[in-house]
């Protein structure tokens, strides 16, 4: 007999967990964009990320729509997910439609946050991996924003949103190509924090993978 925790775990597959993580980011990004006056390149970081996330949201909506037995019943609430997957293009960033899309995204994010908290506390092992994934996504985005704020030196080679995202991703994954690097003291501090977090996240993933293999071996025995 399946327990409630097992049922929740089955529902929260990898793609669903990814959607939840991205929804949490969307909520934080909306807060940044609403309450702070951001430089143009920082806004571009948020815009590029937003368009990518909207693509993931749309794929998730289509997957669940085609898997639904009763599509009309699914659309009673599914239309909210469809609307929230519309990207915030420049010509749409004004007017009532823009505010409505934002509202639906906030509703989706709050719903996802509730599922995330339940998942983390019910399943500690996978919950740890989920929390690490959230930290990784948020660190890449917000360190990209932070590095653009401090790398204003004339010799800086991190000047655009694309540069910042590329630098943050290669740094947190500990690859570090070296083609983009901070030259200011503040930027180097951000890089140190990001590298430290990256090493910690790699250790978390390795521990989770080892735990998963041990569990699979026990099932085989």
Query: What confidence tens digit (pLDDT) does each residue in 196-214 have?
Result: 988 888 887 787 777 767 7
For the domain spanning 1-122, the CATH number is: 1.20.120
Query: Residues 110, 27: contact at Cβ < 8 Å?
Result: yes
- Angle at CA of residue 193, ends 192 and 199, nearest 5°: 90
Q: Is the pLDDT of residue 76 over 50?
A: yes
Q: Where are the domains of the chain?
A: 1-122, 124-212
Q: Is the pLDDT of residue 2 over 60?
A: no
Averaged pLDDT of the chain = 74
Give CA–CA dist 139/44, Å, rounded: 17
* pLDDT tens-digit readout, 114-160: 666 665 666 666 667 777 777 787 788 888 888 888 888 788 888 88
153 Rama class: left (phi>0) / alpha (psi -120 to 50) / beta: beta
Q: Do the domains at 1-122 and 124-212 have one common CATH topology? A: no
CB burial string 74-106: b at 16+ within 10 A, e below: beeebebbebbbbebeeeeeeeeeeeebbebbb
Give CA–CA dist 17/133, Å, rounded: 9
151 Rama class: left (phi>0) / alpha (psi -120 to 50) / beta: beta
CA 70 to chain centre: 30
**Computed over its alpha carbons, how large is the radius of gyration of the chain?**
20
* pLDDT tens-digit readout, 4-56: 444 444 445 566 667 777 777 776 776 666 666 777 777 777 778 878 888 88
For the domain spanning 124-212, the CATH number is: 1.10.287.70
The pLDDT of residue 23 is 72
């Amino acid at each position: 007999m399946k327990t409630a925790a097992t049922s929740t775990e089955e529902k929260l597959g990898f793609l669903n967990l990814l959607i939840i993580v991205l929804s949490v980011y969307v909520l934080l990004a909306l807060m940044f964009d609403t309450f702070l006056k951001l430089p143009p390149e920082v806004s571009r970081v948020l815009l590029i990320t937003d368009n990518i996330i909207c693509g993931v949201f749309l794929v998730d909506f289509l997957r669940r729509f085609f898997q639904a037995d009763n599509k009309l019943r699914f659309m009673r609430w599914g239309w909210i997910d469809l609307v929230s997957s519309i990207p915030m293009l420049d010509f749409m960033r004004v007017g009532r439609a823009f505010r409505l899309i934002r509202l639906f995204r906030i509703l989706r994010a709050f719903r996802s946050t509730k599922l995330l908290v339940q998942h983390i506390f019910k399943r500690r092992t996978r919950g740890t991996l989920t929390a690490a994934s959230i930290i990784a996504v948020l660190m890449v985005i917000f360190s990209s924003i932070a590095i653009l704020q401090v790398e204003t030196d004339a010799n800086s080679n991190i000047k655009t949103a694309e540069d910042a995202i590329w630098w943050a991703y290669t740094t947190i994954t500990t690859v570090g190509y070296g083609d983009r690097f901070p030259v200011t003291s503040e930027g180097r501090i951000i890089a140190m924090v990001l590298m430290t977090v990256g090493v910690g996240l790699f250790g978390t993933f390795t521990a989770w993978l080892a735990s998963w293999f041990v569990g699979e071996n026990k099932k085989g025995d």
